[in-house]
Chain A
Amino acid sequence: MRQSNGYIILFTAIMTIIVGGLLSVTSQVLGPAQKKSIELDTKSQILGAVMNLEKGDDILGIYDQRIKSLVVDINGEEISTNAKGGAMVAEEVNILKNFKKSTEEREYPVFMYMNASDSNQVDSYILPLYGNGLWDKIWGFVAMDKNGEKIMGVSFDHKGETPGLGARIRDKQIQERYKGKSIYNEGGELVSVYMIKGEKGEPLDPNHVDGLSGATLTAKGVNEMLKSYLTSYEAYFKKVNSGSAQASL
């Protein structure tokens, strides 16, 4: 009996129902907790671009207190309604989905890190980044100074770069290299900050940072990602500097 086709089909059907039921229950039960940890992870990455977070910091609290956000388009104009007609929330913009669109069609969130004492003054603009590494996606945030010219800090993350090589873009030590670098060259042209090939350990000019030994292709991905997004945000910063965007706050 145990070997009859009927029994096998029955057994498989029951097994599928039990397994499927179990998994969907798990997904339902753990859903809210997963959403929360993803939110926490995103917010700590945003804040990580401008400050060093310690374990046990109240990330959500600091975020609510210090971050104001808006969404702009390629021309630097603020987008206030989303596709469904509701209010646009920068935290809800899916960077990956936008990355797949052309640069002109993307929505660009801007996270403003406000001054601790004067909550109307912007200390830093934190911009999301997305790109292709060697094996898989890479992403991160770059914190620009209030004129959008100098980098105040970066936080990078990746999905599948080689541990010990490309994966080092996640290390604080590598990210520190970007601090104080300028994205404009002496001629006032936006050149972004390039990670050089090889790791020399020597001081470099304001447009370059030391590379990753053995991870030239990951570094190339980082360079392309930075350049592309900084170029897209240029129009917004031009508006900020001329004062018109500031008024709309």
Chain B
Amino acid sequence: MSTETLEKPIKKESEALFSKRRQRIVSDPLNEDNPITVQVLGICSALAVTVKMEPTLIMSIAVVFVIVFSNLIISLIRNLVPTRIRIIVQLAVIATLVTLVSEVLKAYNYEMYKVLGAFVGLIITNCIVMGRLEAYAMGNKPYDSILDGLGSGFGYAWIILAVAFFRELFGSGSVFDFKVFEAIGWTNFPTNGLMVDSIGAFIVLGLIIWVQRAKTGYVEN
């Protein structure tokens, strides 16, 4: 006992709040390790909700919220979760958070609840969320997990917002329901029916992936 008190515990140098390593946790999924364009996860919702910007934005916020908080919660309880039922526990956490989002939306933004309806519920099956819990939060500390969630969440968000921007612009001639082409005097802008269809999302997403891979030089092996 006495020897222990004499010996000063070696204080581990705490890592800076935004160290290089942590910055990479957030920035990697934005580009080089993007959940949609590189890992090709969460495609279904990327196709379904991106007809217009506004629902896409709400969807992005919902996904970022769910991903960050489920990462945090799972990371906090990671040492308590029995390994054999870990997937069930992860699902329960995600499903609870998604239901919360859906209920709040129903109470305070009924308009968007009607538009997004089923898709908010489908965040539960969004592979990005489960993927991050299983691959990251189960083995890392809470703070790092939050950063990881933010990175993946925003990585997902910016891609679907970009897809929605082009789809709404060419499909409906507007951005956030603001008629862009009418505003600049081009009243008979021919809107493209393909863009409001899911096929339009595939095409736009494909183009984004092409541009991105041309820049980063990423090759699938």
Contact = CB atoms under 8 A, between A and B. Distances in A.
Contact of A11 (B82, B117, B193): B82
Contacts of A34: 103, 106-107, 110
Interface in A1-15: 2-3, 7-8, 11-12, 15
B110 A37 contact: yes
B18 interface: no
Interface stretch (A111-119, A156-164, A233-241): A156-164
Contacts of B11: none
A150 B117 CA distance: 34
B151 interface: no
A33 B96 contact: no
B207 interface: no
A11 to B, nearest CB: 6
B80 A11 contact: yes
B108 A11 contact: no
A130 to B, nearest CB: 16
Contacts of B103: 26-27, 30, 34
Interface stretch (B84-92, B122-130, B132-140, B213-221): B84-92
A38 B110 contact: yes
A165 B83 CA distance: 47
A89 interface: no
Given A3-B82, A11-B81, A164-B193, A19 B96 contact: yes
Contact of A26 (B84, B100, B110, B118): B100
B197 interface: yes
A22 interface: yes
B196 A163 contact: yes
Contact of B107 (A3, A16, A33): A33
A37 B107 contact: yes
B196 A23 contact: no
B99 interface: yes
Contact of B82 (A7, A37, A213): A7
Interface in A34-62: 34, 37-38, 40-41
A214 interface: yes
A34 B127 CA distance: 30
B82 A8 contact: yes
Interface string A90-103: 00000000000000
Contacts of B108: 33, 37
A23 B92 CA distance: 12
Contacts of A26: 99-100, 103
B110 A8 contact: no
B171 interface: yes
Contacts of A40: 110
A19 B171 contact: no
Contacts of B92: 15-16, 19
A7 B83 CA distance: 11
Nearest to B108: A33
Contacts of B163: none
Interface in B32-59: 51
Interface in B11-42: none
Of listed A22, A26, A40, A157, residue having the most chain B CB within 10 A: A26
B211 interface: no
Given A19-B96, A34-B103, 16 more contacts: A3-B83, A8-B82, A11-B89, A19-B92, A26-B100, A27-B103, A30-B103, A30-B106, A34-B107, A38-B110, A160-B117, A160-B118, A163-B51, A164-B171, A164-B193, A213-B193
Interface of B: 51, 80-85, 88-89, 92, 96, 99-100, 103-104, 106-108, 110-111, 114, 117-118, 171, 193, 196-197
7 contacts: A3-B83, A8-B84, A23-B100, A34-B107, A37-B108, A37-B110, A41-B110
User: Sorted from nearest, which 10 A-B pairs have the closest CB atoms?
Assistant: A164-B196, A33-B107, A37-B110, A30-B107, A34-B107, A163-B51, A8-B82, A19-B96, A34-B106, A30-B103
